[in-house]
Structure 1
Amino acid sequence: MTESSSEKLIEVLRKAVSRTSMLAEGNDPKLDSVVRQIRLAITKGANADEIQTVLSDAEPLLIQSDEAQLTRAKQVRSCLQELIDLLEQQEQKSVPQNEKKQLEAQIRMHWQASSQWPGLLKSYLSLAEKTLSQKDSNQPKSSFLKTLFNAKKNAATSKNDNEVMGQISHTLAGLINNLMLPSHYDDDIADLKKALLGNKNLQQLPALLDEIINLIMVAIGKTQENLTNYLNQLNKQLASINDSISISYHSQKNLSESREGFNSKLQTQVTDTSQAVQNASDLDSLKALINDKMATISSTMTEYRTQMLEQEKHANQSITQLKNKVTRMEKDTASLRSLLQEKLAQAMTDSLTDLPNRTAYQDAILPLCKIMQKTQKPLCLAVCDIDHFKKVNDTWGHLAGDKVLRLVPKQIRSILLKQDHIFRYGGEEFVIIFPETNMEQAIQRAEAIRLAVEKAPFNMQGEPVSISVSIGVAELKPQEDPESLFARADKQLYLAKESGRNRVMANK
């Protein structure tokens, strides 16, 4: 690389770091200060150690920002799911199925991107307006729509508008509390929460959602959480490359200057010696002259050799430092990869039961269905619901309900084969996938699960409590999509509930 091209590359890299780092600002005042320090250090040509010190200060703030973003994203996703659930529970109202499926798909794809939250809320607002603006209908909703997102078909009574609006208000207030807004928005937040908690009219919901969307857009107007982590890694890599190129460039420049200086000095000494020999008048003066010139040449060569050794030492140090940087980057990459995998696992796991959650089910079911259909192997799906779970909560409290939710999966797992998959779909409902299993085999395993739960010992305050489950089973058809498969299994679950509970019904 020539001197000119090296200087141009260094200048371009400095500008790239300086300008790109501006995108990370606006998340947090402390983080903004550190980002500005990074940009200033790069612009002024600071060495790698100085830049590394600033980056080390930024790393904890970046990690905290990333964790806070993931927590907020989970809460937004949960809020949207609860809001859809509340729409499903509206008496004599039918949620438009196509629009609901589109919203569910949008949530699955974009729940982690804060820039997409306003769009998701707008989509929900559109769905809510279409649902609530319908005239009362005596036509019952399909069982699939009623159970999706934890809506229970077997509820004895439906919530009236006041109760539903109360739940919506509580959910939205929780969402507002998790928005990161400047302090001068505190009054707006307080007014909106007051309006939410004081309003019992569902017809006012669209207007309230509009206000919430505006606040969310303010909150994410300057946030770039996903980009921040990328910029941090980019700054580290560019700083290392910038430092290495600078060292290499200066070393090469010094080496060239030393070589040119040595050649010039040596040529001068040779020329002077030749001229002196020609002008010498006697042998003694010639000897003295030659000795003097040889001593000078020897000194020049010694000086050159010393310079070469020193530059070689610096080059070795530079190579060692670069190797250390690469090693650190590899360790950081491994650490970040591990952290990402851990966060992904947390996002796909139900914290109470340690089972894969609804998101994990949605990611798993489509590939499994496609593989089974392509290989023409059977696949069955079972929807399992704990009987009279609300009664357990009402009688013994939510702690008892949590114990039941942990007990039932243990009993189910004791029956499942290694190839089977179980998910907590929501509330007291679980979904089981039986790959490479025909209907007869799936019914046998479902019956074994039902018996295992029925026989499981469960006591509260020394009193035995009966626990049972109802299960609906369906087998995947050629060309059938996962939604249709779930709907058929869910319909069988509904029939099992209607037939007295604690039984298995199958769509044969």
Structure 2
Amino acid sequence: MNQPTSADKEIIALKKKLDSAIHARLELQKDLEIQSSAFVQFISKLSQTAKGIDVLLDNKLAKLRKMLSKSSSWEDVQAMFNDIAQLLQKHSIKNDNNIAHLHQQFHQAGALLQKIRNLPDSLRRELRTLLTDTTDKKDSVVQYVSPLSQLIEFYQAALIAKENLPSNELSNVTPPKAIQNPYVDKVVIERFTFFLTHLNVSKPYKPAINKIKSELSDKISHQELLDDFLEVFEIINKDLIEERNTAKVFLSTLSATLSSVQTAVQTTISSNEASKTKHSELNQQLKKNITELAEGVENANSLAGIKIDINEKLKQIVTSLEEKTAFEFEQFKALSEQLNSMQEKVNILEVQGRAFEKKIKEQQARSYQDALTKLGNRAAFDDYFTKQMVRFHHSPFELAIVVLDLDNFKRINDTYGHTAGDKTLQVIANTLAKSVDKEQFVGRYGGEEFVMIYSNYNKEKLIEKLNEIRLKVAKLPFKFKNNSVSITLSIGVTHIVENDNIHLAFERADAALYKAKESGKNQIIYA
């Protein structure tokens, strides 16, 4: 019979699909680890920025960092998320109330000062101007430092006038300068912008992150930045919860489907064992009938007796054969139904698996792509270069690593702003991508530094190609605030040699890059 063989083939096919599902789960776990790492970095930066605002908040964030480092259960981490979100929300409300109260007290004090007699006209005018300029409520407490300092000076001047002190003492009273910058430090804004640029979130949440990033400026208050932190925190939390729920649904479905398939396979195996026993019994019965028929013929005394005996034995044989045929048909029917049922479940699992595999590939692509330039990021470079090094050591070929850096890039950021800097990086990245063959790799290593991997290019051909790229970049027409700006590249390059490893080769190319910088920039150094 061929049925057991077909069942074995189905079991082998199911095992392969199970292995594929397990592999998909491992890929999902790897992607979640990458996202978790980014989230841990964000929590650390949030802790540094929010330090000192609230002791309880500091303690909660420290506890959250500890929980993440120890891989605590998601339920515990999520509970801590909710606690921190509530604290931030309470702090935001409390801060708004404090600002409203401070604003009210400030104007009440100013109104009382205006009622003081003998207040010099010039001082009264300056006080009126101050109160008019501060009609609208400020965004943060720190923005009241300068107005309050001025108000104190006005009170001092009023006391001097009331006590009829010499005018020369009054003339020494000058409106104070702001003693503290009401806006967030530029370095903090740059770090937060860098984090948002490299933050990988699902597609539905990208517009919200881009909106927050676009609204960042050097004139953002501490309260506004805190609100942005809270919003980003909530976005990351929602994204992680959705990813986790998607994985849970798929893995739950996978588990249920595989359990039912396993049960069906076990039932099939048990049925096959019972079938073998039944077949054995039927075969023994047929063998017995045929043996009895032969013995009857041998021992018969007359032809008439033989005829009667043969007819009886043939009837028994026919009955046994019919029973065997009927049993085989029922057995085949049952096996066919079981296989069809398993196939339906596997088909459903395959559809879900393909959808989940697509999602994993999209997530992996995001984790390997630089968010700003759309080139490969450092992780993509490490993966590609590692594979190429393995190929090289197995069968040597021309393999080179190129490190490029934009000359005087900081000047663009400082002079024209980070938006101009980001646009510059995007144009350079697009130019590099269009200048290399499909067989070569180009990526952003970090900041204004790019890397390229060239295969099957000797030294002369490679330097000629890199000079073409260098000249092409130098001719790009950059214009910021009606000023034409020229961007040049310094380039370090080296070929992989025997006994090289990834770190040695990169350090050699990087050292060549710095030599190009020190030698006047806008040139290529081969090491």
Which is higher, the Rg of structure 1 or of structure 2?
2
TM-score (ref. length: structure 2): 0.47
TM-score (ref. length: structure 1): 0.48
